[in-house]
Amino acid sequence: MSGEFNIFSDKDKFMEDAVRQFTICNSCRYCEGYCPVWPEVHSGNIVTRNDVLYYSNLCYDHRDCYYACPYVPGTHEFNINIPEVTRKIRRETYEELTYNVSGSPLKKTAISLALVVPVILGWFFAFNNIYSPGPVSFYKLVPKYPLIAVSSLLSVYLVSMLAVAGIRYRKLILNGLDNGNATAAVLPGVTTLLGVLAHKWFRNIHYPGGKESNIRLGFHLMIFYGFLMALLSTTLGFIYEDLLGIPSPFPFYSPVVIAGITGGSMLTVGSLLGLAARLSSRRTQGFMTVESFDFLLILEFLVVALTGLLTLLFRYTAGTEYVYLALLIHYSAIYTMYITAPFSTNILHVVVRLMSLNRFDNHNIP
């Protein structure tokens, strides 16, 4: 395929202006040392629409460039506001990557919930053997094989959806560029992965207010590693119980419980901090128009983390019914999260960010 991948056909004016803004940036270059966007902008002679898509998805929204710019709206006719441009384009990119499913995220979530919860509840009543004698077992709520089947199906669905998004994104940014040798490395390299793990570009972001802070670094680290810890806990639980034959419940010093409590707590605190930062960012002038932050996904994180923690807590303190109730909500929230994930900017950005950073590292690290 050649030519520009014109996903913004109905938004031509906006893209035209985005190209205009980046062209001015390319002839200025004062911001070069701020973030990965600028070495990439400055490496080309002319700016195309495909370039702009890529720059936008490399952008971390530090806003250093906005504060350093002598051409910002209200002070200069050039009207340069790159963070606003890139945020709008990121949102458009995400919509395009998920086939622009109609309806708001809220609607999607509601539909998902409507689909998932009855199924779980159906099982709950159909296999209603939680009061049967013997120790508490999660498989009494949902039996083992249906649970594995549903989880596997949902995992396949999520991975496929994200893979499709990745392929589409690659098409978007590579089209007409690099004379074909940009096929390099779809899978991220070691440098890129290490950078992501270390949150290399997360320092000193002008967020949630106008001043530089590390608040976003803080809550992103907590959500990122909290999520991984929770995943680790679940995986370890499966290994212990099903592969090693060690029956649950596990003692509180078991790695399963420790990982679960740590992950759940980090996710909870991280999500709450993120929500608070987002609410407070509404007061920052100049950046009100677009928000790429996914409110619902964070709520889902919170519900998953809290019910996970409660399930653990109730096992040691409360009655069986409470354990199963917490677990029921926990399962429902996880499945809801799975189903809505491909439509969530916060999940999609994992794919898009990784691919963009990988491309940047391929260009800039010898």
Partner 1 sequence: METSGYDIVVVGAGNAALCSAITASEMGKKVLVLEKAPENQRGGNSKFTRNFRIAHEKGWNGFTQEYSGDEFLSDIRKVTSGISSSEMTRYVVDNSGEAVNWASAHGTKWQKALRSTLHLDRTNLFILGGGKALLNTYFRYLGKFRNCRIVYDSELIKMNVENNTFQSLTASIQGHNVEIKGDAVILGSGGFESNLNILREAWGDATDNFIIRGTSQNTGVPLMEMIRHGAASVGEKNDGHMVGVDARSPKYEGGIVTRVDSVIFGIVVNKFAKRFFDEGYDIWPKRYAISGKLIARQPDQIAFSIFDSKSWGMFIPPLYPPIVENSIETLADRIGLNPDELRKTVTEYNAACPEAPGFDFSGLDGHGTGNIEPAKSNWARRIDTPPFYAYPLRPGLTFTYFGLKVDSQSRVTDVSGNPFNNIWAAGEIMAGNILNNGYLGGLGMTIGTLFGITAGKEASS
Of 6, 12, 30, 114, the residue at the interface with partner 1 (CB under 8 A) is: 30
Q: Which of residues 326-365 bind partner 1 (CB under 8 A)?
A: none
Span interacting with partner 1, options 35-43, 49-57, 168-176, 358-366, rule CB under 8 A: 35-43
Residue 79 C-beta: closest distance to partner 1, Å = 12
Candidates 28-36, 81-89, 180-188, 215-223; binding stretch for partner 1 (CB under 8 A): 28-36
Q: Which amino acid is at 277?
A: A
Closest CA to 4 of 165, 174, 183: 174
Q: At CB < 8 A and 24+ separation, what contacts does 65-68 make? A: 65/25, 65/31, 65/34, 65/35, 65/37, 65/38, 66/206, 66/286, 67/206, 67/210, 68/30, 68/31, 68/34
284 binds partner 1 (CB under 8 A): no
Answer for which of 75, 128, 129, 364 binds partner 1 (CB under 8 A) is 75
According to CB under 8 A, which residues from 155 to 184 bind partner 1?
Answer: none
Select 70 or 122, whichever has its Cβ closest to partner 1.
70
Our finding on whether 92 is near partner 1 (CB under 8 A) is no
Structure tokens belonging to residue 53: 């898509």
Q: Does 39 interact with partner 1 (rule: CB under 8 A)? A: yes
For residue 27, the Cα-to-chain-centroid distance in whole angstroms is 33
Shortest distance, position 38 Cβ to partner 1, whole Å: 9
Binding residue for partner 1, selected from 15, 69, 325, 333, defined by CB under 8 A? 69
Among 3, 10, 46, 104, binds partner 1 (CB under 8 A): 46
- Our CB check for partner 1 shows the closer of 42 and 199 to be 42
Whether residue 241 contacts residue 248, with contact meaning beta carbons closer than 8 Å, is answered with yes
Q: What are the φ/ψ torsions at residue 213 (nearest 5 degrees)?
A: -150, 170
Pairwise CA distance, residues 142 & 146, whole Å: 7
- Of 27 and 289, the one with the shorter C-beta distance to partner 1 is 27
Least distance to partner 1 from the beta carbon of 179, Å? 14
Q: Rule CB under 8 A: say whether 43 interacts with partner 1.
A: yes
Cα separation, 143 vs 312, whole angstroms: 19
Task: Tell me the C-alpha distance between 222 and 267, whole Å.
Answer: 6
Rule CB under 8 A: say whether 31 interacts with partner 1: yes
Q: Is 24 in the site for partner 1 (CB under 8 A)?
A: yes
Does 97 help bind partner 1 (rule: CB under 8 A)? no
* CA–CA gap between residue 88 and residue 282 (Å, rounded): 16
- Contacting range for partner 1; rule: CB under 8 A; set: 26-34, 81-89, 95-103, 221-229: 26-34
- Please give the distance of CA 38 from its chain centroid, rounded to a whole number: 24
240-278: string of b/e by CB count within 10 Å (b at 16+)? bbeeeeeebbbeeebebbbbbbbbbbbbbbbbbbbbebb
**Which residue of 1, 10, 13, 27 would you call a contact of partner 1, by CB under 8 A?**
27
Q: Give dist(CA 258, CA 208) in Å, integer.
A: 32
Residue 108 beta carbon to partner 1: minimum distance, rounded to whole angstroms: 40
The single residue among 32, 103, 128, 321 that binds partner 1, judged by CB under 8 A, is: 32
- Helix residue ranges per DSSP H, 98-202: 105-126, 138-141, 144-174, 190-197
Tell me if 33 contacts partner 1 by CB under 8 A.
yes
Residues that bind partner 1 (CB under 8 A): 23-24, 26-34, 39, 42-43, 45-46, 64-65, 67-71, 74-78
